[in-house]
Amino acid sequence: MKKFLYIMLIIFLFLSGCNKSSNNPDEEVSFDSIPNDEKVLIMINQAIDDYNNNLISEKEKEWNTTISPLPIEIDSIPNINSLKELKDIKIKNRITNAVFDGLYELGDYSMIFEIFNYGTSYWLNGVTSFIVDLDTIELNNPDYKEIKNTLDSLMSEDIEVLAWLYGVNVDLGAESNEYPGFYKVNSIGPYKYKSIQDLKDKAETIFTTDFLATYYQVAFENEDPIYKEIEGELYCSISESDIYDGLPYDTSRIIATKETENEILIDLVVSFGEDVDSTVQRIVLIKTENGLRFNNVY
């Protein structure tokens, strides 16, 4: 406890600007002057405090990064007094260039800290992730049947729809005489869409309109759009875009869900064939007037 209080004192002095010049050099405490183990302890407790104080969204914006959310089943994370409370990370075929990493056991979960540089901001110099004991997940838990069905339905075409908006996997016919470079659309996937609105209607069965706004601008609204309607027919330019394939989310292994006024949070894992990854993943479903929708690419 004394060591923990000492570390907290260092944090307080550092954040109070104690690294500035002082009339008494003995009173100065700078981050660079303390041992690396104590730097790591400060950084880790800083990250823990950000989780406990619900500052993760703020930190993501501040540092323009993505931070693993706190698992639904974890209310808070105890601060650590010593790095001895962390265990070595034992993950098969794991490769890292971290200057420090450690695993913090939290019941059925473990929190992984990876620090790549010593610094006063954890999120500028490190990442976190959470893993779950796979034996605690009930396969095809009947409590999550409805959510599973919704996810399976949305994910059956989510990546394809975004690809279509960029003109990928579109069957094209004859080139337009009036607009060279645009070709008549024969079909988009299995569908015979005849208008931009047809394609929008399909996209909006999966994604929110807010999320689709950027895609719509590129696909339909730019000076050089991907799609045009010419004499009542839908035309598309040839695209060489690449679309993110997404992760193989395993909807048969949903860990937990949480419903709020505007969304449903879902924690689950991904599977690569028979190999199940224990890293906790988060999917968010947005409530709309027309049902549940994605507001992100999954």
pLDDT at position 92 is 66
Alpha carbon distances (Å) from 201 to 6, 83, 225: 60, 54, 18
Do residues 47 and 67 touch, judged by C-beta distance below 8 A?
Answer: no
Give the 3-state DSSP-derived string for 17-62, with helices as H, strands as E and coil as C: CCCCCCCCHHHCCCHHHCCHHHHHHHHHHHHHHHHHCCCHHHHHHH
Q: Report residue 9 as tokens.
A: 């004192």
192 φ, ψ to 5°? -105, 65
CA distance 89 to 75: 23
**What is the residue whose two structure tokens read 């779950």?**
132
pLDDT at position 89 is 83
Do residues 200 and 208 touch, judged by C-beta distance below 8 A?
Answer: no
CA distance 213 to 195: 18
Spell out the per-residue pLDDT of the chain, length 298, in tens.
544 444 554 555 444 544 444 444 444 568 889 999 999 999 999 999 999 999 999 999 999 999 999 999 999 999 999 999 999 887 666 677 899 999 999 999 999 999 999 999 999 999 999 999 999 999 999 999 999 999 999 999 999 999 999 999 999 999 999 999 999 999 999 999 999 999 999 999 999 999 999 999 999 999 999 999 999 999 999 887 777 778 999 999 999 999 999 999 999 999 999 999 999 999 999 999 999 999 999 9
pLDDT at position 207 is 98
Alpha carbon distances (Å) from 237 to 160, 164, 174, 228: 17, 11, 11, 9
Task: Say which amino acid occupies 266.
Answer: I
Do residues 284 and 296 touch, judged by C-beta distance below 8 A?
Answer: yes
Beta bridge mates, 236: 183, 227
Do residues 74 and 106 touch, judged by C-beta distance below 8 A?
Answer: yes
The interaxial angle of helices 196-203 and 209-216, nearest 10 deg, is 140
CA distance 71 to 283: 11
Strands in the chain per DSSP E:
100-106, 109-115, 126-132, 170-175, 182-188, 227-230, 233-237, 249-259, 263-272, 275-288, 291-294
CA distance 116 to 94: 15
Maximal C-alpha separation, the chain = 81
Do residues 156 and 249 touch, judged by C-beta distance below 8 A?
Answer: no
Q: Report residue 65 as tokens.
A: 């990064």
CA distance 82 to 99: 17
CA distance 15 to 27: 15
pLDDT at position 270 is 98
